[in-house]
Structure 1
Amino acid sequence: MAHLLHIDTSSRQEGSVSRELTRAFADAWTAAHPDGTVTYRDLAVNPVPYPDMPDLATSTLPAGQRPEHLEDSFAITDTLIEELEAADTYVIGAPMYNFMVSASLKAWVDRIVLPGRTFDTETRQGKLVDKDVTIITSRGGSYAPGTPRAGFDFQEPWLKAALGQVGLDDIRFIHAEMTLAKVMPKLAQFVPLAEESYDKALATIKSLF
């Protein structure tokens, strides 16, 4: 049965562009898979604790050998990875904060990149394979190739590198840019570009189904 994992990370509830677009994706996916299952996780409303394993060796211990005081932490990580394993399609909303992803998304990534569980410790091959992955970003400015701030995009390259470790090496990125144009007077001239970028992102989402 088709299974979608839908993750939001924006600190904004109302007016969040990334939330609007991930919802559009989830709605389109559900329409295309009426018998499918959706797992939803909001990392802004319910952030996962930052990983607290004291060292790499501890993180690879099997269940029966884990220190008792870390069981709750392991349980959180196990749940997050089980969600990834169960789903065949992922959509992740990732607003850009200071040229990067949110702290809540970073903590999630740091938990799901787990030696022995999501990638082989000997071969370094990722185990989360054959997944359809879409990451929808929202960006206050423009970081498209050729723009003055193109070199400040540490978001997409980092996500590719970090998630590639677990086998998610074919990620579809959909960017909605210039989102601050409508709320910052000095960027008002870029409102048409913001609307064009949003409409293009929405059209891309619809074209997937």
Structure 2
Amino acid sequence: MTHLLHLDSSFTGDMSVSRAVAREYVAAWQEANADGVVTYRDLAAAPPAHLDWTGVSAGMTPEDQRSPEQTEAVKAREAYIGEVAAADEVLVTAPMYNWSVPTQLKSWFDWLIVPGVTVADANTPGLLGGKKVTVVTTQGGSYGPGTPKEGWDHVSPYVAHMLEALGAGDVEFVNVEMTLSTRNPALAEFVDLFHASRAAAAESVKIRATA
């Protein structure tokens, strides 16, 4: 039985393009995996706590010496790690907010990083080792070569590095650009680019989900 972990991080609800593309992925995946299981976590609706010293120090403290707050932090970390460990495939949405990832997604990654346990090294395959990972990214504008803000995309590089640190080898990014062109008059000339990008993403996730 194949198991997909689906994580959303957009806080825009029904307006979210990344959520819509991810739903298309899940629909295609379920059609191809009739007996498959989908675990869903909405990081915007139930945000992980920001990593703090309580959370970090909990892992360095013997279990019988932990404070109640440290004990809860360990439980939270184990829950996030456990969901990933149980999955065969992972689908993550990562809309661009202020040129970077949503704070909720950053917090989720922070809880997953445990050197010697989840981080890949010579002795550890990493939490995502052997798992298929798909990342749906969305951008209000465009940040490719030759654009005015080329190099300002801090979403894809960051997520790619985090996935690599966790041992992921089978990773694909699906991006939709110019998502604000339908709502921002200043970007209206790029509406066709958005629709083309959106259509390409829909096709890409269907192929990826059934591969």
Whether TM-score is above 0.5 comes out as yes
Amino acid at match of 2:11: S
Length-normalised TM-score, structure 1: 0.92
CA contact (8 A) 2:143 2:149 kept: yes
1:127-160 deviation per Cα after TM superposition (whole angstroms, max 9, x unaligned): 4211100000110001123322221011111111
Indicate yes or no: 2:120 matched with 1:81: no
After superposition, the C-alpha distances for 1:107-135 in whole angstroms (9 at most, x for unaligned) are 00000112232126885762421110000
Residue 190, structure 1, aligned to residue 190, structure 2: yes
Determine the structure 2 residue equivalent to 1:158: 158
Q: Which amino acid aligns with 2:20?
A: E
State the one-letter code of the partner of 1:200: A
- Where does the alignment leave 5 or more consecutive residues of structure 1 unmatched? none
Q: Distance in 1 between matches of 2:203 and 2:123?
A: 39
Question: How do residues 29-68 of structure 1 correspond to structure 2 at under 5 angstroms?
Answer: 29-54=29-54, 58-61=58-61, 63=63, 66-68=66-68
Letter in 1 for 2:100: M
Name the CA distance, whole Å, in 2 between partners of 1:62 and 1:130: 31
Q: Quote the Cα distance in structure 2 between the aligned partners of 1:163 and 1:110.
A: 12
1:14 match: secondary structure: helix
Bigger mean CA deviation after superposition, 122-131 or 9-18:
122-131
Residues in 2 aligned to 1:116 and 1:64: alpha-carbon distance in whole angstroms: 22
Post-superposition shift, 1:14? 1.5
1:41 is aligned with what amino acid? R
2:150 aligned partner, one-letter code: A
Indicate whether 1:144 and 2:144 are aligned.
yes
C-alpha distance in structure 2 between counterparts of 1:37 and 1:55, whole Å: 30
Alignment-derived partner of residue 115 in structure 2: 115
Partner of 2:133: 133
SS of the residue corresponding to residue 150 of structure 1 reads coil
Partner AA of 2:191 in structure 1: V
1:14 alignment counterpart = 14
Contact conserved, 1:53 with 1:70, CA < 8 A, in 2? no
Secondary structure, aligned partner of 2:46: coil
Identity %: 39
Aligned mates of 1:115, 1:65 — CA distance in 2: 22
Aligned equivalents of 2:154, 2:79: Cα separation in 1: 28
User: What is the SS of the residue equivalent to 1:168?
Assistant: coil
Q: 1:107 and 1:59, CA in 2 relative to 1: closer, same or farther beyond 3 A?
A: same
Distance 2:198 2:184 in 1: 17
Unaligned runs of 5+ in 2: none
- Per the TM alignment, residue 50 of structure 1 is displaced from its structure 2 partner at its CA by 1.1
Per the TM alignment, residue 65 of structure 1 is displaced from its structure 2 partner at its CA by: 5.6
Which letter maps to 2:104? S
Q: Secondary structure at the match of 2:7?
A: strand
Report what 2:90 is aligned to.
Answer: 90
TM value normalised by structure 2: 0.91
Q: Which amino acid aligns with 1:158?
A: Y
CA pair 94-33 structure 1, distance change in 2 beyond 3 A: same
CA contact (8 A) 1:113 1:163 kept: no
CA contact (8 A) 1:127 1:166 kept: yes
Task: Summarize deviations over 1:79-110 as a string: whole Å, max 9, x none.
Answer: 00000000011111110001100000000000
What is the CA–CA distance in structure 1 between the aligned matches of 2:192 and 2:124, rounded to whole Å?
A: 45
